[in-house]
Amino acid sequence: MSGTVPLGRFVWYDLITSDVEGAADFYSNLVGWGTTPWEGDQPYLIWTNREVPLGGIVSLPEEARQSGAAAHWVAYVAVPDADATVAKALELGAKVLVSATDIPAAGRFAVLQDPQHAVFAVIAPFEEPPGHEGPPGIGEFSWHELATQDQTAAFDFYQKLFGWETADSYDMGEMGIYHMYGCPGTGTPLGGMFDKPKDVPSSWLLYVRVDDVNQAAAKVRELGGTVLNGPMEVPGGDMVAQCLDPQGAAFALHSAAE
């Protein structure tokens, strides 16, 4: 860890999956992550990227599976006070899925659903949050993309909750405006928001930085995952691909322009 990660930055990533061992093998082979058991009361594996904690992996509860819940990623945003943030989110029209709860030696967290129904989490770390300043490195989550019913209303919600600011935007033609955002004064965008197609649920898509998206996409297929879209070039010359892991959790790949 180097430097202080600003509040409002994504700092932790959990994968909730139907096959913990299978998912761990998939991502370890794809992006080189390691895993280490968490010494707590509940079964939980911690993802590590070059031995730096990145997030965790936990089994999808049986009752959730029976109700039709699918494997998915959840991203955590650092906040100064989890309870105050939950109260503010409720005022702004959000729904609480998991009430504010302490994680021993880690922080106090809560899981929320924004007014357009996308799921995210907040955490008030007990110590300096994981991560670092500056552009994300290989194996780190480099882009956080929200497909939403109303990106203008969604940005207003997150701006009031986390203080995010507009970083840039560009016109995607028939697909509308792509709105990029970031923490004030950092100079590094966190991701983008756009209006989703009508038949797609509101959701966050998390991009992992890799050396070469073309090679990584081929590896996704080799390991039993699915490439939904791409690889393709995006404005600025970077390459991306949207994928599903073998358990059905959506994620994306990103490599920077040379």
pLDDT at 6: 66
Q: Is the peptide bond before 231 cis (omega within 30 degrees of 0)?
A: yes
The mean pLDDT of 195-219, rounded to a whole number, is 95
C-alpha span between 57 and 18 (Å, rounded):
10
Choose the CATH number for 141-255 among 3.20.20.60, 3.40.50.10320, 3.10.180.10, 3.40.50.970: 3.10.180.10
H or E element that contains 120: strand 119-125
Give the ranges where 98-204 is alpha helix by DSSP (H). Answer: 151-162
Q: What are the tokens at 200?
A: 């797609």
Residues 6+ apart with CB under 8 A from 43: 20, 58, 59
Sign of CA dihedral 132, 137, 141, 146: positive
- Taking only the tens place, the pLDDT of each residue in 102-156 is 987 788 999 999 999 999 999 998 887 666 666 889 999 999 999 999 999 999 9
Please give the Cα distance from 109 to 122 (Å, whole number): 5
Angle at 191 between CA 257 and CA 202, to 5 degrees: 130
pLDDT in tens, 150-191: 999 999 999 999 999 988 888 877 778 899 999 987 778 899
Q: What angle do CA 69, 72, 76 make, to 5 degrees?
A: 125
Fold match flag (10-125 vs 141-255): yes
Pick one of 3.40.50.2000, 3.40.50.2300, 3.10.180.10, 3.90.550.10 as the CATH number of 10-125: 3.10.180.10
For the chain, the domains span 10-125, 141-255
The DSSP element (H or E) to which 103 belongs, if any, is: strand 95-103
Largest pairwise CA distance in the chain: 50
Residues 6+ apart with CB under 8 A from 227: 217, 220, 221, 241, 242, 243
CA distance 76 to 63: 23
More confident residue, 89 or 130: 89
Residue-level pLDDT at 179:
92
pLDDT at 3 over 50: no
pTM of the model: 0.93
pLDDT tens per residue, range 31-78? 999 999 887 667 789 999 999 999 999 998 877 777 778 899 999 999
